[in-house]
Chains A and B, each alone.
Chain A
Amino acid sequence: MSAPPLTRGLLGTGDPSLAAHLATHGPLPHDGDPAAVAGELTGRGGAGFPTARKLQAVAEAARAARVPAVVVGNGGEGEPASAKDATLLARSPHLVLDGLQLAARAVGADTVVLAAGHPQLGGLDRALAERGDRGRVRLVGLPDRFLAGEESALVSAVDGGPPLPRGKVPPVRHRGVQGRPTLVQNVETLARLALLARGDAAAGHTLVTRHTAGRVDVAEVPLGARLVNVLPLDPGTRALLVGGYHGSWLPTAVAADLTLERSGLASVGASLGAGVLAALPADRCGLRETAAVVGYLAAQSAGQCGPCLNGLPRIAAALELLARPGPRPPGLLADLERWAGLVVGRGACTHPDGSVRLVASALRVFTPELAEHAAGRCTAVPGVPAFLPVPGGAR
């Protein structure tokens, strides 16, 4: 299935002003049911939940609790390899603010929050001032942490607490900000809602952050597009990372036949996540890249749940050994497998599950590299810098 073309894209012309926004998109229609216009739209923060159902669930929870709901726009893009939300907020802040307005109307919210990284707050404040919405939308700055955008961590941060996950019970749609029913919606999802309300076919496209040798950019692409057309592959590309640091490595041959659609990616055990796509250059080693990322993920554990606190550092250390050419301790792979099994499903959030998903895919896809390393060799060119961005990155 290929989506109809967008008449007006999400990334605009690069002019973030209200005048440019109105010239491109026109005013936000005041009538219409936002949950109805959401149609087939799915969340773009990673989980891909249908937006209309989420809007309805929060509206119902607020009615049942007899308190007004809270809406939080989630721009807490903690994923170091993702830049699409920051780019969207910088280029088209008014689409996101329009979407917040629609979401607030849909769920009957009297409190509207937009949470984003500190570098984004200045531009967002200017955008709010332009539309006379300062005071109507509260801006909250989030720390640069992998889990800062996790739904319950975000609610905690908005409430002035530590930006740490709290667990799924009770869900934030029932008890979120100030204990009230809360809608947490990714900023791209909100911007798409604002386009849909204007009759634009925005649900069939998505923002991706693309990493290829020597280049990182953000693009808006149809979900029906083939992966290899979205992410140009150099000859010799060994594998693709799909979905970011909680995502999966795919062999290039497998990726060749796929589109970005959920069902196709799911059939090979992958998901688009928050839209990170990376083509591993031929001169890098997938095991070294994965070890660096998993070391970062272990360090980013909130440290609240025993299995994650104990398991991820061990898993990261084992990968660090596997990433080096040379003999490895006997039983290392068996240990790794056991530890992976012990962390999955045992955290308050899905950080251990996502981290293990990445590790498992690396061990599947980089089997030849494992054999090379065991024989004391590495296919990567010595001395090349890391390909995937890892904050605080030296290895």
Chain B
Amino acid sequence: MSERLRVDPIACTGHGACAELLPEAVALDEWGYPLLAAGELPRELHRPARRAVAACPARALLLERTDARQPLPGRFTGSAQGRTPQ
């Protein structure tokens, strides 16, 4: 099963708990909002990711199942993972 993180950008208020609990997959931008590692979450991060999702005070961090394998561009992107900036 593949999973990846998503941020609800409206719900997110920049508490930063996600970056504290899951630094392997979440960094904060200069305003304190999360930047997610692109692509799917490595299997070993599934459990800490669930903890980070549960700890988000705004309930803005989501863990979603993905159907197809996505390429891993290996850089931090925003909440709209995998979408090409226009």
Interface of A toward B, CB cutoff 8 Å: 166-167, 304-307, 310-311, 341-342, 344-348, 350, 353, 357
Q: List 14 A-B contacts (CB under 8 A).
A: A306-B12, A306-B14, A307-B9, A307-B31, A307-B33, A310-B33, A342-B29, A344-B78, A346-B9, A346-B79, A348-B10, A350-B86, A353-B85, A357-B86
CA distance A307 to B60 in the complex (A): 14
B33 lies within 8 A of A306 (CB): yes
CA distance A345 to B80 in the complex (A): 5
One of A166, A345, A346, A350 near B33 (C-beta < 8 A): A346
B31 lies within 8 A of A306 (CB): yes
- B-side contacts of A310, CB under 8 Å: 31, 33
A345 lies within 8 A of B79 (CB): yes
B83 proximal to A (CB < 8 A): yes
In the assembled complex, the CB of A167 is this many whole angstroms from the nearest CB of chain B, namely 6
- B-side contacts of A345, CB under 8 Å: 77-80, 83, 85
In the assembled complex, the CB of B57 is this many whole angstroms from the nearest CB of chain A, namely 14
CA distance A311 to B33 in the complex (A): 11
- B-side contacts of A347, CB under 8 Å: 9
- B-side contacts of A311, CB under 8 Å: 31
B44 proximal to A (CB < 8 A): no
CA distance A310 to B32 in the complex (A): 10
Residue of B nearest to A271 (CB): B86
User: Do A342 and B8 contact each other (CB < 8 Å), given the known contacts A306-B13, A353-B85, A357-B86?
Assistant: no
CA distance A310 to B13 in the complex (A): 12
B86 lies within 8 A of A344 (CB): yes
- A-side contacts of B85, CB under 8 Å: 341, 344-345, 353
User: Do A306 and B32 contact each other (CB < 8 Å), given the known contacts A167-B8, A346-B78, A348-B9?
Assistant: yes
Residue of A nearest to B13 (CB): A306
Residue of A nearest to B14 (CB): A306
Question: Which of A306, A311, A341 is most buried by chain B, counting CB atoms within 10 A of its CB?
Answer: A306
- B-side contacts of A167, CB under 8 Å: 8-10
- A-side contacts of B13, CB under 8 Å: 306
CA distance A26 to B13 in the complex (A): 55
- B-side contacts of A346, CB under 8 Å: 9, 33, 78-80
10 smallest beta-carbon distances between A and B, as pairs? A346-B78, A305-B9, A306-B33, A345-B80, A310-B31, A344-B85, A304-B10, A345-B78, A348-B10, A348-B9
- B-side contacts of A166, CB under 8 Å: 10
Residue of A nearest to B30 (CB): A342
Across chains A and B, the number of contacting residue pairs, with CB separation under 8 Å, is 51
In the assembled complex, the CB of A16 is this many whole angstroms from the nearest CB of chain B, namely 37
- A-side contacts of B86, CB under 8 Å: 344, 350, 353, 357
- A-side contacts of B9, CB under 8 Å: 167, 304-307, 346-348
CA distance A166 to B13 in the complex (A): 15
Residue of A nearest to B81 (CB): A345
In the assembled complex, the CB of A40 is this many whole angstroms from the nearest CB of chain B, namely 24
A-facing residues in B34-86 (Cβ within 8 Å): 77-80, 83, 85-86
CA distance A353 to B83 in the complex (A): 12
CA distance A13 to B67 in the complex (A): 54
CA distance A305 to B60 in the complex (A): 11
- B-side contacts of A357, CB under 8 Å: 86
- A-side contacts of B79, CB under 8 Å: 345-346
CA distance A252 to B35 in the complex (A): 38
CA distance A350 to B79 in the complex (A): 13
Residue of A nearest to B8 (CB): A167
One of B10, B30, B77, B83 near A305 (C-beta < 8 A): B10
CA distance A40 to B12 in the complex (A): 40
CA distance A307 to B86 in the complex (A): 16
CA distance A253 to B29 in the complex (A): 39
- A-side contacts of B80, CB under 8 Å: 345-346
Question: Which of B9, B12, B80 is most buried by chain A, counting CB atoms within 10 A of its CB?
Answer: B9
In the assembled complex, the CB of A162 is this many whole angstroms from the nearest CB of chain B, namely 12
In the assembled complex, the CB of A271 is this many whole angstroms from the nearest CB of chain B, namely 9
CA distance A344 to B76 in the complex (A): 13
CA distance A307 to B76 in the complex (A): 14
